[in-house]
Structures are given as structure tokens and as C-alpha cells.
Amino acid sequence: MPKQYINPPGLPKHPYYTRVLSVTEPSTLIYIAGQVPSDDNGKPVHAGDIRSQFIAVLHALTVQLKAAGATWDDVVFRRAYAVDVPAFVEHCVRDKTFPLPWDANHPSPSTLIGVTALANPEFLIELEIAAVISD
């Protein structure tokens, strides 16, 4: 599906996200609700370990994308909520030893929001994504 990645002149280009992404063909929008690091019973996993929680969340999102007929290449927006923003950036975003599932050359637009708490005190992060697939 054709997508145009735009980093307008006059604004700094960021290495972890694209400022604007435009979908240029008829398509289907997929919204995936905030995913927390939980097991099949909704109980928190990897308490106190933000990197392991991030990996668990990415795995769950991958399963949901596949169920909707999409992949990480189809993701057009990411939003992350983190109780500890510096830890999230250091251990989940900037850690070059961890292969992120999205294309580093064309990362989707994203937002990182620091929060004081999530639905369970043991949750350190929550991610939600939007994807677009061709009709």
C-alpha cells in the first residue's frame, strides 16, 4: 500500500519516528487498543522489568496485527504510555541490541506519554497502535 513519509523542512528529523505519514490509496484502518504486559488471565508479567514487559507487549501486538491481516510494516501510528520515561527510552527505544519490529528507515509517527500509573501498579508500559492495509 502506498505511504508517503514526510519530515517537513524547517523541523528536525527524529531518528525514532516520522513526523507525518500519508496513506494515498483506499484502505482499511485497524486500531488496536492499549496493550499492557499481561498473561492470558490479565495478570501482570515481568514485574519491575520494563524491557521484558516491552517485549511481551510487542509480541501481543504482533499477534493482534496478524489477526487483522496486518504486519508491523502496516503500522501508521504508535502511542506509548510509560510510568518511567527515561527507563523506557533507554531500555526499549534506544537499545540497539533489541531489534524493534518496525522499519528503522521509515518509522511510523509516534507519541510517548509519561504517566503516573496504569491500570495495574505493576504495569510499567502500555502501547496502542493503528495500522492501514490495502482494500
Q: Say if residue 40 is exposed, middle or buried (CB neighbours under 10 Å; 0-12, 13-18, 19+).
A: exposed
The cell numbers describing 5, all together, are: 513519509
Task: Report the pLDDT value the prediction gives residue 104, as an integer from 0 to 100.
Answer: 80
pLDDT tens column, 27-66:
899 999 999 999 999 999 999 999 999 999 999 999 999 9
Q: Which domains does the chain have, with CATH numbers?
A: 3-134 (3.30.1330.40)
Q: How far is Cα 107 from Cα 19, in angstroms, rounded to an integer?
A: 9
pLDDT tens for 56-112 read: 999 999 999 999 999 999 999 999 999 999 999 999 988 777 778 888 888 889 999
Rounded CA-CA distance 28/26 in Å is 7
- CA pair distance 133, 31, nearest whole angstrom: 11
Burial class (CB in 10 A: 0-12, 13-18, 19+), 99: exposed
